[in-house]
Structure 1
């Protein structure tokens, strides 16, 4: 009798477990089918500038321009796509290209100098060399200007005496004037080179420091 009751209870428990497992499988299967149906877009909807909804079975340029929603068979949104802005995309493309170039330049600078200290030493070496050249040219300019004063005095002395200015003196004055102008131009070029070199290396040093 007890064995019969035990077997009956066991069969009842087994049937309950089977029903629970079957129900669980059905629920999972239904959820899977539902999820699949949700993920499958059937309609595509966008709103124009007047807020009017436009629906079609495919994505058109207008959809891309305004941004659109992908809908399933139940008209439920399964995906959203932002509007495409040509000008913004071009700006972003330009910005990305600029960033890539900057990174490439930083990599080359790292290979060339290693660290900011090396670049600083190189800058100082070049600037000191330019300073020396500028100083030498200034000395030459002062000498040419002093010579000019002497030559012009000699010229004025011939004028005062009413004599003809010698050709040799004229040539010396002309040569002196050319040297003064040439030296001034050279000094100006050296000063520009100095400023450009300083700016160039200051940028390099700053970029290297950011990588350290």
Structure 2
């Protein structure tokens, strides 16, 4: 469409300018504004299930259902919009919600630790503490196992001589066995805690590094 550009009709006040450079800028501005006006959608077209084109001056729910094209005054396509999909919308909503949660978590980590160096020091401190507990429990387990050997020898000596094993020795053997079981369970728990803590802080450290 051939159309004479009138800068005054586009809201641009002009006056006599003698400087060539300023005149060039003014003409460029007029052309830009006119181009932007020409890009505004004048029609909206969608194709129904039978492939029939439907055109209107506004977007209706049917346009959104089938997907539509925005057209300028020359019926040229400015933009294409895909048909609305409930499944896609739910997926995008879930994705956006997940991203928001991640950003909130990252912000909390930033407030809690400040930077990855602080988090690394905290990680090493906790892991060192767990290591010390594991060492103590292994020492305790070793002592309990040595005690068991001694107690079982005493028991076998009573059997060898044909004597009845005293109740107090039986109780000590029983308690020793229970303590060994508990100690082993505690060590396994500490080892699992060590691995979990290591993984937990590695994730925190990596997330903090991405923010640095």
The answer, yes or no, to whether TM exceeds 0.5 is yes
Contact 1:67-1:83 at 8 Å conserved across structures? yes
Taking the aligned partners of 2:48 and 2:83, their CA distance within structure 1 comes to: 11
TM-superposed CA distance for 1:38, in Å, is: 8.8
TM-superposed CA distance for 1:203, in Å, is: 1.0
TM-superposed CA distance for 1:48, in Å, is: 4.8
Kindly report which structure 2 residues correspond to 1:24-103, keeping only aligned pairs within 5 A, or say none. 41=42, 44-48=44-48, 52-55=51-54, 57=56, 61-70=61-70, 77=77, 80-103=80-103
TM-superposed CA distance for 1:74, in Å, is: 7.8
Q: Is 1:114 aligned with 2:134?
A: no
Q: Deviations over 1:180-205 (max 9, x none)?
A: 01111111111111111111111111
Taking the aligned partners of 2:55 and 2:178, their CA distance within structure 1 comes to: 82
Sort the Cα spacing of 1:39 and 1:201 in 2 relative to 1 into closer, same or farther, 3 A.
closer
Sort the Cα spacing of 1:184 and 1:36 in 2 relative to 1 into closer, same or farther, 3 A.
closer
Corresponding residue for residue 31 of structure 2: none
TM-superposed CA distance for 1:85, in Å, is: 2.1
Corresponding residue for residue 139 of structure 1: 139
Corresponding residue for residue 168 of structure 2: 168
Structure with a larger share of its residues in helix = 1
Secondary structure of 2:84 counterpart = coil
TM-superposed CA distance for 1:75, in Å, is: 6.1
Q: Deviations over 1:126-183 (max 9, x none)?
A: 1111000000000000010111111111112222222211100110011001100111
TM-superposed CA distance for 1:66, in Å, is: 2.6
TM-score by length of 1: 0.73
Corresponding residue for residue 5 of structure 1: none
Q: Deviations over 1:18-65 (max 9, x none)?
A: xxxxx766xx79xxxxx98995756x5433566x22426575555323
RMSD over aligned Cα, in angstroms?
3.2
Secondary structure of 1:108 counterpart = helix
Sort the Cα spacing of 1:94 and 1:162 in 2 relative to 1 into closer, same or farther, 3 A.
same
Sort the Cα spacing of 1:209 and 1:36 in 2 relative to 1 into closer, same or farther, 3 A.
closer
Corresponding residue for residue 181 of structure 2: 181
Contact 1:38-1:76 at 8 Å conserved across structures? no
Greater Rg, structure 1 or structure 2? 1
